[in-house]
Amino acid sequence: MSEIDSIPVSGATALYAIVGDPVAQVRSPQVINALFAQAGIDALLVPLHVPRARFADTMRSLMSIENLQGIVLTVPFKVDAKALVDHMLPGARAAGAVNAMRRSKEGAWEGDMFDGAGLVRALQDHGHTPESKRVLLVGTGGAGRAIAIALAQHGVRELALSDIDHARAQEVAQAVRDIAPNCRCTIAPAAFDGHDIVINATPLGMRPDDPLPLDLAGMGASHVLFDIVPKPDITPLMREAQTRGIATIGGKRMIEGQARAITEFFGHRV
Amino acid sequence: MSEIDSIPVSGATALYAIVGDPVAQVRSPQVINALFAQAGIDALLVPLHVPRARFADTMRSLMSIENLQGIVLTVPFKVDAKALVDHMLPGARAAGAVNAMRRSKEGAWEGDMFDGAGLVRALQDHGHTPESKRVLLVGTGGAGRAIAIALAQHGVRELALSDIDHARAQEVAQAVRDIAPNCRCTIAPAAFDGHDIVINATPLGMRPDDPLPLDLAGMGASHVLFDIVPKPDITPLMREAQTRGIATIGGKRMIEGQARAITEFFGHRV
C-alpha cells in the first residue's frame, strides 16, 4: 500500500463542495483542486449532484457538516442560495445571486458572487485593468449581470449594456447605478463605438452556426475583446477579432480567474 | 494549468463518503482511495464529520445526492444507521450494526457490516482460512461481535468467546448460534487452549502500559495470533507471540482487508 500517502484526502482534509443539478459537466473540481495541489494545500472540492426538490434540506445538512468549509453553487441554485446564507456580500446582493459561500470563524455562512470577478481577474492578468475604462457588455443574463456588477465595483468609467431583452438590460443598469453611482451606465446597440473593452456575455458562439453576437467594425489593435463562451477555445467572434489585430481573451480564462477568486474567498492563497 | 488532468476528481467521479463524529482520525479515505487509484477507478471517498444531533437528517440528505453511491459508517453511527437502510444483509442483521451502505440499481439502500470481514480476509491473505478452525476470540464489543459473526459465516468449527462482561459474551454467542447453527460457540477464559487461531478484539495494547489481554502459554509455531489493535504496528502481545514463534497478524491488515471488502461491496474490482 505504498501509494497511500500520495492520495490527497484524509480525515483532516479541508473539504469543499460544488452543488448543482446536474454536476457531471462542471469544471470547478479539476480547476480548483489543481490550484490546491499546486499550492500544497490539504483541501479538496467535490461535486455533489443535489436534486432540485431537495435543495434547501440538503444544503442545511451540508452546512452542518463540520469539516465542510465552503460551498460553490452552480445552475440552477445561484438564486435560491440567497435564502440560506446568514450574510450576503455586496457583489452577491447586487447580482441577486450567490455562487460561493463560506463558514466564517463565528460559524455564520457568508455568500458572494464570483461570476463577474473571474472576468475582471482575467482582464487584470492580461494587463487590462477595468478602472476608468469604457466598456461595452453584450448580454445581461445571469453571467452578464454578474459581470456588469463586478466591472462597476472595479471602477469602469462607462458601461454600455446591450441586450435584445431591453427590460432586462434596464434592470441591470439600475443595479449598476445603485452599487456604483459614479459609473456612467447606458443602454446601447451591440456594436463597437470607441470602447476600450468589448465583452460578449451571450451564449452565441457555442454552436458553429451561431451568428456573431456583436459588430466589431472600427475596433483595432488598441482594443480588447473578451468572449466568455468557454468552448471552443477560439470562437468565431475571437477569430474575426484576431484578423483585425484586436487582443482577445476567451472564456476559459474567466473560469480560471473565478477559480482563483473563489479559492481566495475560501481563505487559501493560491 | 497543466496539472488539471492529474487531479482525480471531476463532475463524473463516483463519490463515496465516510460519516463519523469525529472523522479526523479515520484511515479509510487514504486506504480506499489508494485502492481506487491503483485499480484506475474514477471514484473518491471523502470524510464527512456529521454532528451526532443531525445524523438522521444529514444521512437522508446525503442519500438523496445523485452521484453519492455509497456511505461508510464509523463511530458513533454504526447502530443508528440500521434505521436508515431499506435492506440489511445477513452480516449486518446478525451484528446489529451497519458500517457500509450502497445504492442498489433499483435505488434502494442496502447495508452490510465489514468489521469482521476485514479480519477474515486478512486471515485468508495470510493462508489461514477460518473454515473448520478452532478459534478463541477475546473481546466481544462492537468489533468483537462483528468478528464473531464473520467467523461463523465463514465456517469456523468452534468459536470460544471471552469477555470480562459475561452477559455481552453470552449475547454474542446467541447471535452466532442463530446465524451459524453448526458452529460450536462457547464462553471461555482469555487463555489459549489448543485453538488454531487466537484473536485479541479488546483495545488492550493501544497504550504502552496496558496489560496483555490474554494468556499465550502453550501456543507455538503452528498457531496464529491476530491482534486487531492497529497502532502500534507490533503490539506488546504480538511481540510476546513472536518470541514464542507464533505467526502474528496486526490490526492494519484488518483495516486493509476491510477496505478491499467494502470497495468490492461498492461494486468495484480492486
Residue type, B3: E
Give the pLDDT confidence score for residue B11 in this predicted structure: 85
Average pLDDT value over all residues in chain B: 94
Of A122, A179, A187, A120, nearest to A158 by C-alpha is A187
Q: Is the pLDDT of residue B219 over 50?
A: yes
Angle of the B251-265 helix axis to the B115-125 helix axis, nearest 10: 110
* Predicted pLDDT of residue A12: 87
Within B75-227, where are the H helices? 90-95, 115-125, 142-153, 166-179
Answer whether A47 sits within 8 Å of B4, measured CB to CB: no
Q: Cβ–Cβ of A4/B68 closer than 8 Å? A: no
Q: What is the pLDDT of residue A10?
A: 87
- Asked whether the predicted pLDDT for residue B3 surpasses 90, the reply is no
Per-residue pLDDT of A34-65, as tens digits, reads 999 899 999 999 999 999 999 999 999 999 99
- Grid cell listed for A123: 482582464
Compute the count of residue pairs across chains A and B with CB atoms less than 8 Å apart: 139
The torsion angle over the Cα atoms of residues B88, B92, B97 and B100, rounded to 10 degrees, is -80
**pLDDT at residue A25, rounded to an integer:** 84
Q: To the nearest whole angstrom, how far is the Cα of B253 from the nearest Cα of chain A?
A: 11
B64 vs A contacts (CB less than 8 Å): 50-51, 54, 58
A23–B57: do the CB atoms touch at under 8 Å?
no
pLDDT band at B139 (very low <50, low <70, confident <90, very high): very high
Which of A21, A46, A54 to mutate to probe the B interface, most B CBs <10 Å?
A46
- B39 DSSP 8-state letter: T
The pLDDT score that the predictor gives to residue B270 is 81
**Does the pLDDT value for residue B4 go beyond 50?**
no
For residue A36, give the chain B residue with the closest CA. B7
Burial of A14 (0-12, 13-18, 19+ CB in 10 A): middle
Q: Say which residue, B1 or A113, is predicted with more confidence.
A: A113
Sites in chain A below the pLDDT cut of 70: 1-7
The three cell numbers of residue A143 are 453571467
Rounded to whole angstroms, the Cα distance separating A20 from B57 reads 20
The pTM of the full predicted model, rounded to 2 decimals, is 0.86
Residue B181: asked if its preceding bond is cis (omega within 30°), the reply is: no
State the amino acid at position A80 in one-letter form: D
CB-based contact (8 Å) between B194 and chain A? no
A12 contacts in B (CB within 8 Å)? 24
Do residue B27 and residue A11 have CB atoms under 8 angstroms apart?
yes
- Listed in sequence order, the residues at least 6 apart from B108 whose beta carbon sits closer than 8 Å to its beta carbon are B86, B87
Residues of chain B with Cβ-Cβ distance to A34 below 8 Å are: 1, 3-4, 6-7
Grouping H, G, I as helix, E, B as strand and the rest as coil, residue B78 is coil
Chain B partners of A26 at a C-beta cutoff of 8 Å?
Answer: 10-11
State how far the Cα of A29 lies from the Cα of A46, in Å rounded to an integer.
6
Whether the Cβ atoms of residue A137 and residue A148 lie closer than 8 Å to each other: yes
Confidence (pLDDT) at A116: 95
ipTM of the complex: 0.83
Would the CB atoms of A47 and B256 count as touching at under 8 Å? no
Of B6, B15, B18, B46, which to mutate for an interface test with A (greatest number of A Cβ within 10 Å)?
B46
Cis peptide, bond prior to residue B189, ω within 30 of zero: no
User: Does the structure show a pLDDT above 50 at B91?
Assistant: yes
From CA B67, how far away is CA B62, in angstroms rounded?
Answer: 10
The reply to whether residue A44 touches residue B9, judged by beta carbons under 8 angstroms, is yes
pLDDT of residue A6: 45
More confident residue, B270 or B119: B119
CB B261 within 8 A of CB B32: no
Distance from CA of B71 to the nearest CA of A (A): 14
Confirm or reject contact between A23 and chain B (CB < 8 A): yes
Main-chain phi, psi angles of B148, to 5 degrees: -60, -45
Active site residues of A: 78
How many angstroms separate the CA of residue B262 from the nearest CA in chain A? 16
Query: Residues B22-47: pLDDT tens digits?
Result: 998 888 899 999 999 999 999 999 99
What pLDDT was estimated at residue B5? 38
Could you tell me the domains of chain B? 4-113 (3.40.50.10860), 116-254 (3.40.50.720)
Instruction: Say if CB A42 and CB A13 are below 8 A apart.
Output: yes
Neighbour tally for A209: CB within 10 Å: 5
Residue-level pLDDT at B2? 36
In chain B, residues with a C-beta closer than 8 Å to the C-beta of A48 are: 15, 65, 67-68
Percentage of residues in chain B having pLDDT higher than 70? 97
Residues of A in contact with B77 (CB under 8 A): none
For CA atoms B13, B18, B22, B27, give the dihedral sign: negative
